Structure 1
Amino acid sequence: MRADAFLAAAEALPVRALDDLLPPGGIVVVAPHPDDESLGCGGLIAEARARGIPVRLVVVSDGIGSHPNSKSHPPERLRSLRESETLAAVAHLGLSPDHVAFLRLPDRFVPSIGLEAEAAAGAIAASARDCSAGALFVTWEHDPHCDHAASAALARRARDLLGEVRLFAYPVWGWTLPPESEVGAAPRGARLDVTRHLPAKAAAIAAHRSQTTDLIADDPEGFRLEPAMLARFAGDHEIFLEVAP
């Protein structure tokens, strides 16, 4: 199926309440980079916490690839900044810092196979066991970013380690795919109405100041989320695609 048709169908998936979407237990959100959790799952996290559902966040990469040429924010400082931004972001969503794990794999070089990948999948599985998770959420395997695809592979491996756990994917950069890209069978899954959590989600996204403002101004190649991309994640629904075993 072409990406344009797939994504149009994803935007028309049925709207389901969280209780209908999730099996019993907690949830684990896997974010390739600090900020993906707020963009793709901010409403999900806020809704789960509002209902008393345990949530764990696993941030896979160290995020230092966003401003590789900055002198004011060399790698160690940038990593620390992005982690502090993440903790500030998820606080708006009701998530405690104690429930966030940073794996600190290299940004742009997250492995999908090998010993490091196996350890990362094990860490995701450990977070799931910690909250008796019934579901994992990770970026879509067709997102056109190597770390997003690798994180999807890590989550699939974690599901293998866990057994009876459902896996859902959330598109982030998938919305930028060329329309003719082939992405497989028609989507299955649901949309979650996050209207009541939009202020909290907006505050969470804004907390990632290094990605949404000119906070780091000394790298002409530095990354910044464009207004059109931010608008994409300001809508009333979040999309979750069911990933078949």
Structure 2
Amino acid sequence: MRADAFLAAAEALPVRSLRDLVPAGGIVVVAPHPDDESLGCGGLIAEACAQKIPVRLVVVSDGIGSHPNSKSHPPERLRNLRESETLAAAASLGLSPEHIAFLRLPDRFVPASGPEAEAAAGAIAEAARACGAGALFVTWAHDPHCDHAASAALARRARELLGRGFLGTVSLYAYPVWGWTLPPETEIGEEPRGARLAISHHLRAKAAAIAAHRSQTTDLIADDPQGFRLEPAMLARFARDHEIFLGDLPRRRSLGRLR
């Protein structure tokens, strides 16, 4: 299936509630970079926090690849800035700092295998255990960014490490970020499965979370001509009243006539 057809079909997936996606337990959001959590899962996090569903956020990379030539923001200062922006963004969504882990793997070089990857997958699994997770949410493996694909591999490995627990097998959902920019002719495979989550009640909180990432959305760091900045069209993509999560929804147990 071509990417243009796949993504069009993804935008027509049925609307489901958070508890349709995750019938029990908490959730873990895995973000390759500081800001991916707000772009792809801001509404999800806000909805979970509003429902008092336990949430953990794991930020995989240190984020310093966004402005590699800045003199005003050398690597350590940029890393600290991006982490502080993430904490502010999470606060806008209702998530407390103690529920956020920064793995600080190298931006643009997140490993998908090897000892560092195994340790990162272990950290994601530990976050899942801490909140009794029923699902992990991570960037789509087809996102055309190496760190996004690697983070998807880390989440898959974390689910393997978790095995089958009290709540059964932990579900795994993917959220597209850079996947929306794929060349239309890119072959994806089978048609999408999953659901859309309505987030209209959380649009203001999500917008505030995205805006908190000032280093990525403004000219806050102005001394790197090659520095990254989210384009208006990309920001508009994530200002919609739903978020898309790809994956197999859990089967509902039959309760007969009970309601």
Would you say same fold, with TM above 0.5? yes
RMSD between aligned residues: 0.8
The answer (yes or no) to whether the contact 1:26–1:135 under 8 Å persists in 2 is: yes
**In structure 2, how many angstroms separate the alpha carbons of the residues matched to 1:75 and 1:144?**
24
Inter-partner Cα distance in structure 1 for 2:56 and 2:23: 16
* Offset of residue 17 of structure 1: 1.1
Q: For 1:38 and 1:238, locate their aligned partners in 2 and report how far apart those are by CA, in whole Å.
A: 11
**Alpha-carbon distance, 1:243 to partner:** 5.9
How far did residue 216 of structure 1 move?
0.1
Of 196, 201, 212, the residue aligned with 2:206 is: 201
Aligned to 2:61: 61
- The percentage of aligned residue pairs carrying the same residue is 84
Q: Quick check: 1:169–1:243 contact (8 Å CA) kept in 2?
A: no
Shift of 1:23: 2.6
Matched, 1:228 2:240: no
The aligned counterpart of 2:176 is 171
Q: Identify the residue that residue 20 of structure 1 maps to in structure 2.
A: 20
Q: What letter is aligned with 1:208? A: H
Q: Is the 8 A contact 1:16 1:190 kept in 2?
A: yes
Question: Secondary structure of 1:235's match?
Answer: coil
Gaps of 5+ in 2: 164-168, 250-259
By how many angstroms is 1:158 displaced?
0.4
> Helix, strand or coil: the match of 1:240?
strand
Return the offset for 1:183. 1.1
Q: Which residue of 2 aligns with 1:128?
A: 128
Given the two structures, how large is their TM-score scaled by the length of structure 2?
Answer: 0.93
Quote the Cα distance in structure 2 between the aligned partners of 1:67 and 1:100. Answer: 23
Q: How many residues align?
A: 244
Give the partner amino acid of 1:78. L
TM-score, length basis structure 1 = 0.99
Instruction: State the Cα deviation string for residues 80-126 of structure 1 (Å, max 9, x = none).
Output: 00000000000000000000000000000000000000000000000
- Residue of structure 1 in register with 2:82 after alignment: 82
Code of the aligned partner of 2:216: Q
Query: How far off is 1:184 after superposition?
Result: 1.4
The code of the aligned residue for 1:98 comes to: E
Q: Is the 8 A contact 1:38 1:204 kept in 2?
A: yes
CA distance in 2, matches of 1:87, 1:236: 23
Q: CA deviation at 1:20?
A: 1.2
Q: Secondary structure at the match of 2:121?
A: helix
| C-alpha distance in structure 2 between counterparts of 1:138 and 1:193, whole Å | 18
Question: What letter matches 1:195 in structure 2?
Answer: S
Secondary structure of 1:24's counterpart equals coil
Alpha-carbon separation, structure 1, partners of 2:232 and 2:21: 30
> 1:19-58: per-residue Cα shift (whole Å, max 9, x none)?
1111310000000000000000000000000001000000
Matches within 5 A, 1:182-193: 182-193=187-198
- Give the 3 Å change call, closer, same or farther, for CA 65–243 of structure 1 in structure 2: farther
In the other structure, the counterpart of 1:213 is: 218
In 2, the alpha carbon distance for the partners of 1:125 and 1:180 equals 35
1:152 offset after TM fit, Å?
0.2
In the TM superposition, structure 1's runs of 4+ consecutive aligned residues that sit over 6 Å from their partners are none
Secondary structure of residue in 2 paired with 1:141 = coil
Query: What is the rounded CA distance, in whole Å, between the counterparts of 2:26 and 2:92 in structure 1?
Result: 19
Aligned partner of 1:184: which letter? G
> Structure 1: 5+ residue runs without aligned partners?
none
1:152-171 equivalent positions in 2, closer than 5 A = 152-163=152-163, 164-171=169-176
Q: Distance in 1 between matches of 2:136 and 2:186?
A: 26
The answer to whether 1:237 aligns with 2:220 is no
User: Which secondary structure does the structure 2 equivalent of 1:4 belong to?
Assistant: helix
Q: Please tell me whether Structure 1 or Structure 2 has the larger radius of gyration of its CA atoms.
A: 2
